[in-house]
Amino acid sequence: MGGRYAATHSLPFGNMKLNLVPTTALTREHRLSKRTGKGINGLIGISVFVFVHQYTFRPTFGGLWICFAGILQVKMIARQIYLEYVLVIPGKSIVLIQPRGFCAGVVRAIETVKLALERYGAPIYVFHEIVHNPYVVNDLREKGAIFVDDLDDIPTGAVTIFSAHGVSVNIVDKAKQKQLQIIDATCPLVTKVHLQARKYHAKGCEIIIIGHIGHEEIEGTMGSVPGPVHVILTPEDVDALQIPLDAKVAYVTQTTLSVDDTVDVIKALYKRFPNIQGPNTDDICYATQNRQNAVRQLSKEIDLLLVVGARNSSNSNRLREVGAQFGVLAHLIQDETEIQPDWFNHIDKVAITAATSTPEVLVQRVMTHLENYGLTTVRTMEGVEEKITFTLPKQLAPGV
Ligand code: SF4
């Protein structure tokens, strides 16, 4: 298929083909393809000239120039009716979406566990999965981390790390009662949401959280305010809210939802509560937004999107959904073993992205596996360069 554009006519050209394409529909890749096409045309032209000149009519240079001018004329007319030709070279290729994979919060959380193991020795207890990825969790488990979902499973006084998703105030209090040595690996962007929710609560607002009920981050945010909160996800949920119209209300959002994910529900909130308060868009997670934007940008050019990530990772699921929303066949895979051969029927261009909790090694394994399907040409998308880093928890800071 070689990208999505409306070709008005196709001509066979050896094992390739020439497509007539509206000029306005040309992408950067088509322009590159055109350049290749021009190069080949030039070579063919020279060969024909040499052949004709040497073996047949020995035409004059003047006659050839007239033919060339005629071809040029036809090309100019074609341009005027907004058509260009694109040489479509058969072959399958992979586009590595940029940015993809680890965000600053995940890097910090994983580094926190590794440094804690070095500093305090195994075992180190981690409350919940440090990040939502089984490969990462198993790797840290092998190094001596013990993952628990209940503080009662941790011995009194043990070194305990809170995961990147954050915890509620109740959990912090219970950990203190057990005299656990707490190291908080909560992503600073999640902590920011907790503080925002508390600030709104202190101003007397009823708190609405936009997010997925049951997700650990939402549990933590719900438990960070000392009062009832409402968790919603869709505009329909706004209608069902049991809040008086004259109540003071404020909303915060789950970090793994982008601006685009929440725009409709926020509109519905403002419609129902015109004076509702909410955070600035600067407060959304840069990594979530960048990864989703990259998928959106590329979705017009690709036939298949593979999102490498865990099934319980909100970030992974959103990336797959973004691709599907743009009409791209999109699959979420934990690793290369989940790839199905029949996904590649009539597919030329495959894009790969990875969730914020997915290590690059899994992407590389997927790429190696795709060679089995003739996908050997790899291009990396030009994308946003992320330079954000977060400092380590104070107990693990260098020199402490
Ligand atoms: S996805 Fe965003 S909020 Fe979540 S850990 Fe990464 S940087 Fe933090």
Catalytic residue among 84, 129, 217, 301: 217
**Closest ligand 1 atom, residue 188 Cα:** 8
CB 328 within 8 A of CB 305: yes
pLDDT at residue 6 in the model: 43
Please tell me which residue, 91 or 205, carries the higher pLDDT value.
205
Name the residue with the closest Cα to ligand 1, atom 2.
285
Residue of 102, 108, 184, 190 with the most ligand 1 atoms within 8 Å of its CB, for mutation: 190
Residue 243 has pLDDT above 90, yes or no: yes
The verdict on domain 94-101+286-380 having CATH code 3.40.1010.20 is yes
Q: What is the position in ligand 1's atom list of the atom closest to the CA of 131?
A: 5
Q: How far is the CA of 340 from the centre of ligand 1 (A)?
A: 30
CATH number of the domain located at residue range(s) 189-283 in this protein = 3.40.1010.20
Reported as a pLDDT band with limits 50, 70 and 90, residue 284 is confident
The reply to whether domains 94-101+286-380 and 104-187+390-396 share a CATH topology is no
pLDDT of 23 reads: 59
Ligand 1: which residue has its CA nearest to atom 8? 105
* Contacts with 80 (C-beta within 8 Å, 6 or more apart), sequence order: none
Measure 154 CA to ligand 1 centroid, in angstroms. 26
Residue 393 confidence (pLDDT) above 50: yes
Q: How far is the CA of 170 from the centre of ligand 1 (A)?
A: 22
Ligand 1 atom nearest 187 alpha carbon: 8
Ligand 1 atom, smallest distance to 315 CA: 1
Ligand 1, residue 108: give the atom nearest the CA.
Answer: 5
pLDDT digit string (tens) for 212-229? 999 999 999 999 998 889
**Ligand 1 centroid – CA 108 distance (Å):** 10
Predicted local distance difference test score (pLDDT) of residue 76: 59
The ligand 1 atom nearest the CA atom of 285: 2
Report CA(356)–ligand 1 centroid distance (Å). Answer: 7
Per-residue pLDDT averaged across 185-214, rounded?
Answer: 95
The pLDDT score that the predictor gives to residue 11 is: 62
Q: Domain 104-187+390-396 belongs to what architecture?
A: 3-Layer(aba) Sandwich (3.40)
Q: Which of 194, 288, 292, 313 to mutate to test the pocket of ligand 1 (most atoms within 8 A of CB)?
A: 288
Give the model's confidence band at 346: pLDDT under 50 very low, under 70 low, under 90 confident, else very high.
Answer: confident
Which protein residue has the closest C-alpha to ligand 1 atom 5?
105
Q: CA torsion sign, 169 to 174 to 176 to 181?
A: negative
On whether the CB atoms of residues 164 and 190 are closer than 8 A, the answer is yes
The two structure tokens encoding residue 31: 């322009």
Question: Is the previous residue joined to 99 through a cis bond, with omega within 30 degrees of 0?
Answer: yes
For residue 320, pLDDT over 60 is answered with: yes
Confidence bin at 258 (pLDDT 50/70/90): confident
Residue whose CA is at the smallest distance from ligand 1 atom 7: 105
Which of 192, 356, 387 for mutating ligand 1's site (highest number of atoms within 8 Å of CB)? Answer: 356
The rounded mean pLDDT for the chain is 86
- Pairing relationship of beta strands 377-380 and 145-148 according to DSSP bridges: unpaired
CB 230 within 8 A of CB 249: no
Instruction: Report residue 45's pLDDT band, with 50, 70 and 90 as the boundaries.
Output: low
Over residues 85-118, the pLDDT tens digits come to 555 555 689 999 999 999 999 999 999 999 999 9
Is 264 within 8 Å of 286 (Cβ atoms)? no
Is 217 annotated in the active site?
yes
Which residues contact ligand 1 via a Cβ below 6 A? Answer: 103-106, 164, 187, 189-190, 255-256, 285, 287-288, 315, 356
Q: What is the pLDDT of residue 54?
A: 62
Check residue 228 and give its pLDDT. 86
Which pLDDT band holds residue 66 (cuts at 50, 70, 90)? low
Task: Provide the residue ranges of all domains of the chain, joining segments of one domain with +.
Answer: 9-90, 94-101+286-380, 104-187+390-396, 189-283
Helices 314-325 and 286-298 pack at an angle, to 10 degrees, of 30
Which two tokens mark 225?
């305010």
How do residues 141-165 score in pLDDT, each as one tens digit?
999 999 999 999 999 999 999 999 9
Q: Which of 365, 302, 390 is nearest to 102 (CA)?
A: 390
Determine the 3-state secondary structure of 74 from DSSP: helix
Q: Which pLDDT tens digit goes with each residue over 25-38?
A: 555 445 545 555 55
Write the CB contacts of 193 (distance below 8 Å, at least 6 apart in sequence).
221, 252, 253, 254, 255, 279, 283
Higher pLDDT, 315 or 19: 315
- Compare 140 and 376 and report the one with higher pLDDT: 140
